[in-house]
Amino acid sequence: MSDAYNPPQDPLVVLHEDAQLLVLDKPAGLLSVPGKGAHLADCLISRAQAAFPDALLVHRLDRDTSGVMVFAMTPAAQRHLGLQFEKRQVKKTYVARVWGQLETKDGTVDAPLIVDWPNRPRQKIDWDTGKPAVTDWKVQRYEDHATRVRLFPQTGRSHQLRVHMLSLGHPILGDPFYATGEALDAPRLMLHATELRLRHPEGGRGMRFVSKPPF
């Protein structure tokens, strides 16, 4: 991956805003939080806080992943949402285009993950010391040399979807860490957080936020 960080300068796309919640559509190529060094300061949380000073971080998306990202607007909402993520009560749906043709229409990858220290931030499957990681997947349609799938992570490990798809022999197209050869031939990482379901911090009603995949 290139060290050059040139995030898109698109205006903020607000999917929802109220006294407790702010939901944004993160573009691919933009960090969720600042990286180390002034050159990595530009990120979605800083842009959000420029427009919404009370916005607080709840979760993250990888730099190269686009889609729905929720922020809290009060410390109480941040705690409430944080617990929902921690207890795996938030339902997340991603869309991805993966290399090759998946043989079956759906399945589950249950493979524990751990950071690959010599090659961090890469992650790897480790059956002895990895943390539990589970991903359900379902084919949407087949393309010439790829498969479009919906991914339903049951856990929230770093790079989980990327490593789990790789473990099936079908890396996500354009993945700078895990794809090789022709699978790298894509304009971006073909992974998008398309839907997020959670309970509103005030009153607990079910909320659903959707962002259409840009690919």
Residues recognised as catalytic: 62
The two structure tokens encoding residue 66 = 């686009």
Complete DSSP assignment for 52-75: -TT-EE-----TT-EEEEEEESSH
Q: Rounded to an integer, what distance in angstroms lies between the CA atom of residue 115 and that of residue 35?
A: 18
Nearest to 64 by CA among 174, 184, 200: 174
Q: Which three-class secondary structure state does DSSP give residue 204?
A: coil
